[in-house]
Amino acid sequence: MSTLPYYISWAKQKGADTFNIKSVDGVKVITDDGLELFDMTSISYQAHFGQNHPTIIKHMKAQLDSIPMSSPKGIYPGKNEATYELLQYMGKLEGKIFYTTGGAETVENALKIARDITKKKVILARKNSYHGATQGALVATGDWRHDSHQLPEDWVVRIPEPNDPDALKKTREIIEKVGGNNIAAIIIETITGGNGVYYGDQAWWDGLSALCKEFKMLLIMDEVVCGFGRTGKPFGYMHYNVHPDIICLAKGITGGMVPFGALWTSAAIAEHYEENILSCGLTNYAHPLGMAAMKGVLEIVKDQKFLENLTTVEKVFLDELEKIKTLKNVKAVRVKGMLAAVDLTSSVEGKKFFKKGLYLVSQTNRIILAPPLIINANELKTAMKAVFEVLQDAN
């Protein structure tokens, strides 16, 4: 048996990959043996604002000193204020927010609401996707994490990836086969995160939106990874002219400082629940510490200095990725804002990056880069130079 008294996620416990953290400092993690690692994936795509941002901490501390916990039905000024600020930042004042404690729960509630509203059961989803580790979210998930959690009744049907030239035609055929009157919604990561930074173009979104309208299916956008500035705009959907019915948020919503999530639902959905019971709820619904951290995040993302830095580092990121593209073992680079995938001819072990002072996600034949959005230009250049060197040495 491994010596730890708790499980390590998504791993065989014996010999599972771990590392000892001594402290955190902005965009760096400091290990027990004194290694200072640039966090190049914002831990798990949630530490958008580094690991101890003073604005988030300030709001959370103030909350602890006033209302540290509350009933799910409790109303206090901070809850209303922060929610209006979120709606404003999303440009979606017409809808309503349901709060959760993380991404999977957000997706879970999105699926429940879509099926409840439409009185239909089937959900369409991509194969190349991850939507969370609760049962419903895992059924919707298409990657390997889905495999041992499929339910006997099949209520998710896969649609083609947006890079398939016949994606829309094939999607229509699938809808016609399943029957539009059976399909509640399509769930899509606006821009995939851990599964390789793949995304559709405007024509794909237009086609998908038209199918949703024609067959009365809801469009659920999973923005858990790409929300709160990750892709260079406040939200991924802002890159496209698209009108989702439900938007799933988590991770960056509190910069990872406290487990939290939210889903936005359209005015039509909100209207439905005026006279129908919303059969969704959580003990820690709209937890004051989550609300406070979100308020801190919303203060950061509207700050001019943050926005100017984001514009600068986005450009540095692109320039450095151009250099990485020239390496012999690099097959392709896909990037949107501060989220990039580098496809490689062969895998490069995570520990090689570690030794060079980098913490990042190394997958089979691919690395994913998602630096904190508050990283400065010099730090990013240093970290990206180290990425370049590791890949060059692996050539």
Ligand X SMILES: Cc1ncc(COP(=O)(O)O)c(C=O)c1O
- Report the interface residues with ligand X, using CB under 6 A: 102-104, 107, 130-132, 189, 193-194, 222, 224-225, 250
Q: Which is nearer to ligand X, 115 or 131 (CB)?
A: 131
Question: What does the alpha-carbon distance between residue 38 and residue 28 come to, in Å, rounded to a whole number?
Answer: 5
Q: Which is nearer to ligand X, 70 or 195 (CB)?
A: 195
* Minimum distance, C-beta of residue 146 to ligand X, in the bound complex (Å): 13
Q: Which is nearer to ligand X, 163 or 345 (CB)?
A: 163
User: Tokens 């009744």 appear where?
Assistant: 153
Long-range contacts of 210-213 (CB under 8 A, 24+ apart): 211/168, 211/171, 211/172, 211/175, 211/186, 212/186
Q: Which is nearer to ligand X, 10 or 152 (CB)?
A: 10
Q: How far is CA 107 from CA 57, 100, 104, 197, 218, in A?
A: 27, 10, 5, 19, 14
* Minimum distance, C-beta of residue 112 to ligand X, in the bound complex (Å): 15
* Minimum distance, C-beta of residue 166 to ligand X, in the bound complex (Å): 25
Q: Which is nearer to ligand X, 103 or 160 (CB)?
A: 103
Q: Which is nearer to ligand X, 78 or 136 (CB)?
A: 136
- 37 DSSP β-pair partners: 29
Q: Which is nearer to ligand X, 239 or 379 (CB)?
A: 239
* Minimum distance, C-beta of residue 73 to ligand X, in the bound complex (Å): 24
249: left (phi over 0), alpha (psi -120 to 50) or beta: beta
* Minimum distance, C-beta of residue 163 to ligand X, in the bound complex (Å): 18
The SS3 of residue 222 is strand
Q: Which is nearer to ligand X, 218 or 220 (CB)?
A: 220
* Minimum distance, C-beta of residue 22 to ligand X, in the bound complex (Å): 25
Question: What is the widest separation between alpha-carbon atoms in the chain?
Answer: 63
* Minimum distance, C-beta of residue 104 to ligand X, in the bound complex (Å): 3
Burial environment of residue 384 by CB neighbours within 10 A (0 to 12, 13 to 18, 19 or more): buried
Q: Which is nearer to ligand X, 35 or 339 (CB)?
A: 339
Q: How far is CA 264 from CA 41, 96, 142, in A?
A: 26, 6, 23
Query: Which residue's Cβ lies closest to ligand X?
Result: 103
* Minimum distance, C-beta of residue 258 to ligand X, in the bound complex (Å): 12
Q: How far is CA 356 from CA 41, 286, 392, in A?
A: 15, 40, 13
Long-range contacts of 312-317 (CB under 8 A, 24+ apart): 312/377, 313/338, 313/371, 313/373, 313/375, 313/376, 313/377, 313/380, 314/232, 314/338, 316/377, 316/380, 316/381, 316/384, 317/369, 317/371, 317/380, 317/384
Q: The sheet that has 183-189: what strands, in order across it?
A: 96-100, 261-265, 246-249, 218-222, 183-189, 122-126, 156-159
The SS3 of residue 248 is strand
Containing 247, the helix (H) or strand (E) segment is: strand 246-249
Q: Which is nearer to ligand X, 142 or 386 (CB)?
A: 142
* Minimum distance, C-beta of residue 360 to ligand X, in the bound complex (Å): 15
* Minimum distance, C-beta of residue 116 to ligand X, in the bound complex (Å): 20
